[in-house]
């Protein structure tokens, strides 16, 4: 090996790295995770090419296109650093952060000349979410799983001369659904409140069904109202006990926030959860799935809680209405007279346009 000016470690695939090259400049088009997932999806075997000391796989796509993928991982990073150790480099730059094989961190910041670390065997899972499908109902398809590899070290040089992936790390797979052909889903959050009855009256007049995501703490004191919502054919959904953001909660705190409302709703409850503020992350979706809940977001938000005027609220909903739309409105959390007035306009105008209004998350029906 000649003089090294720069050693750049790039995780990701997209180029061929030649043996002995001190400058490693490759086109990064996929992250490490995307690369190994595409190997998994195409059922291609990842092999270690002894010529280039690079992991590699190839597959033929449905359209007949052949893909040759060469990528860098924790093993190639180790080999590069191990080879460079003789030159005692002051440091390394990792580019692009977030696209690397997470095991790369086990080979950085080590003493010169150390052996290949055992930590290269386990490839941690990512926090990324892989969404499949369309719609605002989120359910967990696959939970994340760690990857694993074995490798072989040359006793003389200390270089890794072979590696095998026995499993590739997989992210959360979240399936989206929620298509309501020809129908619109009106949803009401943050109730029940004194405005809930007024909302129910208007829905009844237009034979519209809706979904009420109630706050457990408020619902507790109003069993008759819950009964009325259910008897009218609407759905009762869970909006947590005290409207706390579910993001970043421990699983225990999450379960408590959801299950306390479930207890209040009893047999009336659907298995749909609307996260307060719409804030979700991979953990939120996974914890919800464990409790049997789908998360329901929305597609149309007139921000009625800001009280911009009934006409403004109604106009926003009417102009954004489309088959399958999920509209978020609020029947609680403050003075909702504008929302009630807007609802009258929304129901009248959209009914005239031929729309029907459906409840979400009903047995044998949607979701």
Write out the two tokens for 202: 């208007």
CB of 192 to Zn ion, least distance (A): 13
- Shortest Cβ distance from residue 239 to Zn ion (Å)? 6
Q: Give the span between the Cα atoms of 258 and 250, in whole angstroms.
A: 12
Of 163 and 304, nearer to Zn ion (C-beta) is 304
From the candidates 73, 101, 130, 189, give the one annotated as an active-site residue: 189
Q: Is 130 a catalytic residue?
A: no
Task: Pick the piece of the chain touching Zn ion (CB under 5 A) from 79-87, 116-124, 272-280, 289-297.
Answer: 272-280
Neighbour count for residue 128 (Cβ, 10 Å): 15
Looking at the chain, the number of H-run helices and the number of E-run strands are: 9, 19
Cα distance from N-terminal residue to C-terminal residue, the chain: 61
Quick one: DSSP state of residue 172?
A: E
Q: How far is the CB of 188 from Zn ion (least distance, A)?
A: 10
Taken as a whole, the chain contains a residue count of 367
**HSE toward the beta carbon, residue 68, CA cutoff 13 A:** 5
| Contact between 189 and Zn ion per CB under 5 A | yes
259 to each of 239, 264, 291, how far by Cα in Å?
A: 11, 9, 9
Q: Which residues contact 124 (CB under 8 A, 6 or more apart)?
A: 102, 103, 146, 147, 169
Nearer of residues 73 and 189 to Zn ion, judged by Cβ:
189
Q: How far is CA 26 from CA 29, 79, 150, 193, 228, in A?
A: 9, 17, 26, 60, 64
166 and 148 Cβ atoms separated by less than 8 Å: yes
What are the angstrom distances between the C-alpha of 114 and each of 19, 163, 251, 285, 357? 22, 18, 39, 41, 66
CB of 246 to Zn ion, least distance (A): 11
> Smallest distance from the beta carbon of 277 to Zn ion, in angstroms?
7
Stretch in the footprint of Zn ion (CB under 5 A) among 31-39, 190-198, 263-271, 313-321:
190-198
Q: By CB under 5 A, is residue 304 in contact with Zn ion?
A: no
Separation in Å, CA 5 to CA 59, 125, 300? 36, 33, 55
Q: Which of 56, 239, 316, 330 is catalytic?
A: 330
> Looking at 188-196, 223-231, 244-252, 264-272, which segment touches Zn ion (CB under 5 A)?
188-196
The window from 52-60, 97-105, 106-114, 270-278 that contacts Zn ion (CB under 5 A) reads: 270-278
- Tell me the site size for Zn ion, rule CB under 5 A: 3
Q: Least separation, in Å, of the C-beta of 181 and Zn ion?
A: 28
Which positions ≥6 away from 90 have C-beta within 8 Å? none
Decide whether 170 or 240 has the Cβ nearer to Zn ion: 240
In the complex, the smallest distance separating the C-beta of residue 258 from Zn ion, rounded to whole angstroms, is 14
By C-beta, is 276 or 367 nearer to Zn ion?
Answer: 276
Tell me which stretch binds Zn ion (CB under 5 A): 21-29, 63-71, 109-117, 182-190.
Answer: 182-190
Residue 73 annotated in active site: no
136 lines the binding site for Zn ion (CB under 5 A): no
Of 190, 257, 295, 305, the one binding Zn ion by CB under 5 A: 190
Residue 137 CA to residue 345 CA, distance in Å, equals 27
Q: Which is nearer to Zn ion, 133 or 278 (CB)?
A: 278
Looking at the Cβ atoms of 133 and 333, the one nearer to Zn ion is 333
Q: Of the two residues 147 and 332, which places its CB atom closer to Zn ion in the complex?
A: 332
Q: Render the burial of 270-304: b for 16+ CB within 10 Å, e for the rest.
A: bebbbbbebebebbbbbbbbeeebbbbbbbbbbeb
Residues forming the site for Zn ion (CB under 5 A): 189-190, 276
Q: Which residues are catalytic?
A: 189, 330
């Amino acid at each position: 090996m000649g003089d090294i000016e720069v050693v750049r470690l790039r995780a990701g695939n997209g180029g061929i790295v030649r043996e002995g090259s001190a400058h490693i400049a490759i086109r990064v088009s996929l992250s490490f995770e995307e690369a190994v997932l595409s190997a998994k999806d195409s059922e291609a075997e990842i092999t270690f090419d002894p010529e280039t000391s690079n992991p590699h796989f190839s597959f033929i796509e449905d359209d007949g296109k052949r893909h040759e993928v060469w990528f860098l991982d924790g093993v190639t990073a180790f080999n590069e650093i191990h080879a460079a150790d003789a030159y005692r480099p002051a440091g390394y730059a990792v580019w692009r952060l977030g696209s690397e094989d997470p095991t790369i961190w086990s080979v950085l910041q080590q003493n010169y000349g150390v052996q290949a670390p055992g930590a290269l065997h386990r490839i941690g899972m990512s926090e990324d979410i892989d969404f499949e499908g369309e719609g605002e109902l989120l359910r967990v398809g696959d939970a994340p799983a760690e990857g694993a590899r074995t490798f072989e070290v040359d006793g003389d040089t200390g270089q890794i001369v072979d590696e095998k992936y026995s499993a590739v790390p997989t992210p959360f797979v979240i399936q989206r659904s929620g298509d309501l052909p020809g129908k619109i889903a009106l949803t009401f959050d943050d109730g029940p409140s004194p405005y809930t009855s007024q909302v129910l009256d208007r829905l009844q007049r237009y034979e519209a069904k809706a979904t009420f995501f109630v706050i457990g703490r408020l619902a507790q004191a109003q069993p008759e109202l819950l009964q009325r919502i259910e008897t009218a054919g609407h759905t009762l959904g869970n909006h947590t006990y005290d409207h706390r953001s579910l993001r970043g909660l421990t699983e225990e705190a999450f379960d408590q926030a959801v299950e306390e409302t479930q207890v209040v709703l009893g047999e009336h409850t659907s298995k749909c959860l609307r996260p307060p503020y719409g804030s979700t992350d991979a953990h939120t979706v996974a914890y919800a799935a464990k409790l049997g809940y789908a998360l329901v977001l929305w597609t149309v938000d007139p921000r009625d809680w800001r009280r911009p005027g009934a006409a403004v609220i109604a106009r926003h909903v009417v102009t954004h209405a489309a088959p399958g739309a999920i509209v978020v409105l609020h029947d609680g959390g403050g003075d909702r007279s504008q929302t009630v007035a807007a609802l009258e306009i929304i129901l009248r105008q959209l009914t005239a346009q031929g729309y029907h209004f459906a409840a979400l998350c009903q047995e044998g029906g949607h979701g």
